[in-house]
Amino acid sequence: MASSAGPDFDIVETRDLSRFYGRRKALANVSLSFKAGELVALFGPNGAGKSTFLGVLSTLLRPSAGDVTYGGRTAQDLGDAARTRIGLLGHELFLYGDLTARENLEFFGRLHGVTDLDARVGDALAAARLEARGGDRVASFSRGLRQRLALERALLHAPRLLLLDEPFTGLDDESAELLVARLRQLGGRGTIVLIATHDFDSADGLVTRGVCFRNGRTRDLAAGSGTLRARYRATLQEDWT
Amino acid sequence: MIGVFRAAWIIARKDLLVETRSRELVYTTLFFAVSCVLVFAWAFVREGKPIDNASAGVLWVAIVFSGTLALGRAFERERQSETLRGLLMAPIERAAVYLGKLFALLVLMILVEIVLVPIVALFFHAPIGRAPWLLAGLLVVGTVGFAAVGTLFAAMLVRAQSRDVLLSIVLYPVTVPVVMTGVQGTAAIFAAEPDFGLAQTCLTLLIFFDAVFVTLALWTFAPVMHE
């Protein structure tokens, strides 16, 4: 893969992970394990801790207690190199409106040390179906187009851990289907994909596992053959004390 | 992973490209700086004759005020679409983000100074041709010191509600030594009886301030950015 060398993550684990904002506990002793190729949906009400969890896994936030290991090593052990293998697509898209789509990809590709950058950027624009608009400023794009570009920005350096916060926001049906196909392909290549979402319909049939967040605590989705939405509701109704 | 200076250059080049497109910072900063000089000229120039030793102070006040404006806006851009988080997600040392932003700001502030100095010379009869290299040295080195602290504080305050007000409150007390030394050195060149020795001493002192401020900023930038 055309990317900088970096540590390989075959498993990402959190142990007793907690995160406080002042006195409020956003994550409470979360212990989870994700293996290569898993596509995991993170469900939960607003403010349940999903975005904070992704923030800690991305290394942007430090845990208040507990730790995260990437392939058996902590972020501190790996240092800045940990981020060579992590891709993040947040609520906001990390794109510069005054730069063109191509310039945005080139900029982040250079920072990630992506080799064969021209070819990779061309592939990324094709994957986002933005070849014809590669020279247009991102400020002129609709939310959906920006979302597609931002996903390719997050994938440019071939991450082994992909963190997506509401990736289906602003996508039309066709784009959402393309995203689902892309994520399946990534999972098939061994990428760990974590998706924080409220879009049960898009996640249904895509994810291999679901985790429910509630008040900073987590629980695997209740087993059953129903839809993700039904299993999520059933999980929320369980006794969490 | 790429080296810190290469990463800094990539970030600085991006900032300069964005500025070339929008020209927002250079126009607003320049307009503000020139307005500042014109207001001072209105107050301190009577019948075509400026009051003694005003030019150095006016020049530095215009640089500092317009620089503060540029500092705030430079990070405001990174707040939109959370691109600062995008930078922090790159596998580069945090110091590279600081150095890249600092370098781009320096280019902008020096461009403004290139326009500002002749205007001050025109209104305040400042003899800028007397020791041009020494004057340029004082301005550039002084600007580095001011921007070094300003870049750190602007990054720290990027998520604060009243960041524009807070930036001025925290920035000016810390940069007072840089500004006072810059004013003193520049005044020594502009004086009726110039004192180049004093100007040289001020330049040396400014280099010392730069070393201290840049080192402290590089040391504290990573922890500040982590949260």
pTM: 0.91
Please report residues of B whose CB lies closer than 8 A to that of A62. 226-227
Alpha-helical segments (H) within chain B: 4-22, 24-44, 55-79, 83-88, 94-124, 132-156, 163-190, 196-226
Q: Which positions in chain B touch A22 (Cβ < 8 Å)?
A: none
Query: Contact at 8 Å (CB) between B59 and B66?
Result: no
Q: What is the reported pLDDT for A237?
A: 85
Which distant-in-sequence residues (6+ apart) come within 8 Å of A118 by Cβ? Answer: none
State the Cα–Cα distance between residues B32 and B66, nearest whole angstrom.
Answer: 6
When pLDDT is cut at 50, 70 and 90, the band that residue A201 belongs to is: confident
Whether B85 sits inside 8 A of A103 (CB atoms) is no
What number is the average pLDDT over the span A30-54? 94
Provide the shortest C-alpha distance from residue A37 to chain B (in Å).
22
Q: DSSP for A46-57?
A: TTSSHHHHHHHH
* Chain B residues with beta carbon closer than 8 angstroms to that of A26: none
Question: Rounded to whole angstroms, how far apart are CA atoms B179 and B168?
Answer: 14
Instruction: Report chain A's mean pLDDT, rounded to a whole number.
Output: 90
Residue A139 phi/psi, 5-degree rounding, is -60, -25
Burial class (CB in 10 A: 0-12, 13-18, 19+), B121: middle
Distance, first Cα to last Cα, chain A: 46
Name chain B contacts of A59, Cβ cutoff 8 Å.
Answer: 89
pLDDT score of A38 more than 60: yes
Least confident of A17-26, A71-80, A206-215, B156-165: B156-165
Q: Give the list of residues 6+ apart from residue B169 with CB closer than 8 angstroms, or none.
A: none
End-to-end Cα spacing for chain B: 23
User: What residues 11-70 of chain B have any CB closer than 8 A to a CB of chain A?
Assistant: 11, 14, 17-18, 21-22
Q: In chain A, which residues have their Cβ closer than 8 Å to the Cβ of B18?
A: 96, 98-99
Provide the pLDDT for residue A2: 45
Q: What is the pLDDT of residue A157?
A: 93
Residue A225, token pair as written in the block: 């053959």
Instruction: Answer whether residue A148 shows pLDDT above 50.
Output: yes
Q: Kindly list the residues from chain A whose CB atom is less than 8 angstroms away from the CB atom of residue B82.
A: 90-94
B85/A98 CB distance under 8 A: no
B100 min Cα distance to partner chain A (Å)? 12
What is each CA distance from B209 to A5, B44, B49, B96, B219, in whole angstroms?
39, 31, 35, 21, 15
The residues that bridge with B134 in the sheet, in sequence order, are none
List the structure tokens of A209: 């596992």
Q: What is the pLDDT of residue A37?
A: 93
Residue A91 in tokens: 């609520």
pLDDT at A8: 75
A1 falls in which pLDDT band (50, 70, 90)? very low
Q: Contact A174/A147 with Cβ under 8 angstroms?
A: no
pLDDT at B201: 97
Burial class of residue A229 (count of CB atoms within 10 Å of its CB; 0-12, 13-18, 19+): middle
With CB atoms and an 8 Å threshold, state whether B91 touches A4: yes
Query: What pLDDT, on a 0 to 100 scale, did the predictor assign at position A202?
Result: 87
Say whether B90 and A107 touch across the interface (CB within 8 A): no
**Residue A211, helix vs strand vs coil:** strand
Residue in A4, A51, A64, A111 to test binding to B, most B beta-carbons within 10 Å? A111
Tell if the CB–CB gap between B91 and A112 is shorter than 8 Å: yes
Q: How close B9 comes to chain A (CA, Å)?
A: 10
Residues forming beta bridges with residue A39, ordered by sequence position: A193
| pLDDT mean over A29-49 | 93
Query: CB pairs below 8 Å between A and B: how many?
Result: 83
pLDDT tens digits, one per residue of A129-141: 999 999 999 999 9
Residues of A in contact with B16 (CB under 8 A): none
Chain B residue with minimum CA distance to A108? B90
Q: Please, is A109 exposed, middle or buried when counting C-beta atoms within 10 Å of its C-beta (0-12, 13-18, 19+)? A: buried
Give pLDDT tens digits for A89-124: 988 899 999 999 999 999 999 999 999 999 999 999
Task: Spell out the domain ranges in chain B.
Answer: 4-226
- Measure CB to CB from residue B81 to each of A83, A95, A137 and give the nearest one: A95
CATH of domain A11-236: 3.40.50.300
Question: What are A133's two structure tokens?
Answer: 């608009």
pLDDT (0 to 100) of residue A102: 97
| Residue A4 pLDDT > 60 | no
At A51, list the tokens.
Answer: 């975005």
In sequence order, what are the residues at sequence separation of 6 or more whose Cβ sits closer than 8 angstroms to the Cβ of residue A137?
Answer: A97, A98, A99, A100, B21
Where exactly are the structural domains of chain A? 11-236
pLDDT at position B80, please?
78
Token output for A205? 């049939």
pLDDT tier, A6 (very low <50, low <70, confident <90, very high otherwise): low
- Per-residue pLDDT tens digits of chain B, which is 227 residues long: 889 999 999 999 999 999 999 888 999 999 999 999 999 999 988 888 888 889 999 999 999 999 999 998 888 888 877 899 999 999 999 999 999 999 999 999 999 999 999 999 999 999 999 999 999 999 999 999 999 999 999 998 887 888 888 898 999 999 999 999 999 999 999 998 999 999 999 999 999 999 999 999 999 998 888 76
What is the token pair recorded at A220? 């695997």
pLDDT for B51: 87
B16: region left, alpha or beta (phi > 0 left; psi from -120 to 50 alpha): alpha
Residue A35, token pair as written in the block: 């293996």
A7: how many CB neighbours lie within 10 A of its CB? 16
Which residues of chain A make contact with B14, given a CB cutoff of 8 A? 96, 99, 107
Distance of alpha carbon A222 from its chain centroid, rounded?
23
* Pairwise pLDDT comparison (B225 vs A160), residue with the higher score: A160
